A = this chain, B = another copy of it.
Amino acid sequence: MNLAKALKKAPVQIVLMDRNNFHTFQPLLYQVATAGLEPDSIAGPLRKAFNGQANLIFRMVKVIGVDLENKKVNTKVGELGYDYLVIANGSVTNYFGKENFREKVLPLKRLVHSLDVRSHLLQLFEQAELVDDPVIYERMMNIVIVGGGPTGVEMAGSIAELKSHVLPNDYPHLDFSKMKIHLVEGTGRLLNGMSDAADKNAQNYLRMMGVELKLNTLVKDYKDRNVILDTENIPTESVIWAAGVKGRILSGVPDETVERSRIQVDEFNQVMGYPGAYAIGDVALMSNEDYPNGHPMLAPVAMQQGKKLAANIIKMMSGKQPEKFRYLDKGSMATIGRNRAVVDMPGGLHFKGLFAWLIWMFIHIMYLIGFRNRLITLNNWIWSYFTYDKGTRVIIRKFDFSSKFRSGERSEE
C-alpha cells in the first residue's frame, strides 16, 4: 500500500492484486480474537484507500504463480505481463514442520483467524456450562498459547483480562478459578527482538495477571486433546498458535532465490538475479552489515521498503541510480493489559506501565487513522477502560465444537 501510494503521481500503470478486498491491521488481531474490537474496525477496504488514484487498478484475484523469466503473473482469471513486479504478499503461520497442527490449532494471522478464535473461546464457555465431568471441565478451562512473541504475550494478557473482568459476569455458574492460561515459549525469554527490560517487565505483568509462563519449553505434539510438552502434558481444547511466521512463497519463485522461506533480495529489494522483480516486507530476505540474518519481519520494515522502492522505481525510470535501503528502527512495543505495556525506544530507552500503555494507545490510534475506524476503536477502548467490559461477545462464525475445529470456511493460508 505504501509503495502504490508513493507512486500516485508517477507515469506508471499500477495493478494491485489481492485475494481480499481489504487490508488488515494485524497488530490488533488479538483484540478481535478476545472480543475487544469489531473485526471491521481493523480492516480497511483497499478500494477506498485508493479512491481517486487514477494510475491504479485494483483486482480482487488470487495470484496462482509468477514467471520471473518471462515477466508474467498468473492469476485465476488470466495472465498479466509486467515491467516491474513487486512481491509483497507477506507471511503465513509457521508450524515449524508440524503440518498436522494445521487442522488442530488456532492460528492468529488473518482476520478470519481472529473471528475463529473469538467464536471458539465463546463457544467453549457455552459448552462448559453443560459439562458435569470434572476431567472434561478442566480440559475446557485450560487455554494454551504457543509463542512468547508480541502476539502470544498480548493474547495471554488479553485473555487474562477477560478471565478477571468479563467472563465471571457472563458465566456466573462457571468456576473460573479453574481456568488456566499457559504461555509456552521455546527460548528462555519473552518478546525476542525487544530489550531485556521489556522481557522482564512483560514476565512480571503476566505473572501478576495469573498467566502460567512456561519458558524453555517445546511443544512436541498435540494429540488426543493433549498438548505434549517436554516437561508435562496439558489437556486442552484450545491451542492458540502464535509461534511464528514464514514468508509466503508464490509458485514460480525460483528455488535458488529462496532462503529460510524468504526470497533473497539485494539492498535495492531486487530479487537476486531477476531484474524487474522485487520483493518487500516479510517475504523478502535482505541482509546487510546491520542485519546479517535479514531484517525482522515487522510492519515498519515493509512500509519503509515500500516507500523506498517506489522512490527507486521513479529514479530508475528516469535513468537515475537507485539508493540502498536503510531500515530506521523507531522502536517496538507490546501491551499486556490495562495500564501495562512495554516500550523500547531507539537508543536503549525503555518504558513500562501506564506511560508505556498511553504511548501504545496513542501510536495505535494514529496508525488506525487511515482506516477511518479510529473513532470507533477509541470509543471501544474508552468504554472498556471505564467499565472493565468488552464489546462484542457475539458468535457469528460457527463451527461444530465436537468435530474440532472449524467450519467449512476453514481459512487457507
Q: Name A residues whose Cβ lies closer than 8 Å to a Cβ of B.
A: 20-22, 38-41, 43, 45, 47-48, 51-52, 54, 57, 59-61, 77, 111-112, 115, 122-123, 126, 129-130, 169-173, 372-373, 375-376, 379-380, 383, 389, 391-398, 407-409
Check if A21 sits within 8 Å of B393, measured CB to CB: yes
Q: Distance (Å) between the CB of A114 and the closest chain B CB?
A: 10
Number of copies: 2
Residues of B within 8 A of A123 (CB): 60
Cα distance A48–B395 in the bound complex, in angstroms: 13
Check if A21 sits within 8 Å of B394, measured CB to CB: yes
Check if B170 sits within 8 Å of A45, measured CB to CB: yes
Residues of B within 8 A of A169 (CB): 47-48, 51-52
Cα distance A45–B35 in the bound complex, in angstroms: 11
Q: List 13 A-B contacts (CB under 8 A).
A: A22-B394, A22-B395, A39-B396, A40-B392, A40-B394, A43-B396, A47-B169, A47-B393, A61-B130, A77-B130, A375-B383, A376-B380, A409-B409
Q: Out of B38, B61, B126, B129, name the residue touching A41 (CB < 8 Å).
A: B38
Cα distance A383–B126 in the bound complex, in angstroms: 36
Cα distance A21–B115 in the bound complex, in angstroms: 15
What would 4 more interface pairs be, CB under 8 Å, given A47-B171, A57-B173, A115-B396? Answer: A43-B396, A45-B393, A376-B379, A408-B409
Chain B residue with the shortest CB-CB distance to A20: B395
Given known pairs A38-B40, A170-B48, the reply for A21 and B375 (CB within 8 Å) is no
Residues of B within 8 A of A394 (CB): 21-22, 39-40, 43, 45
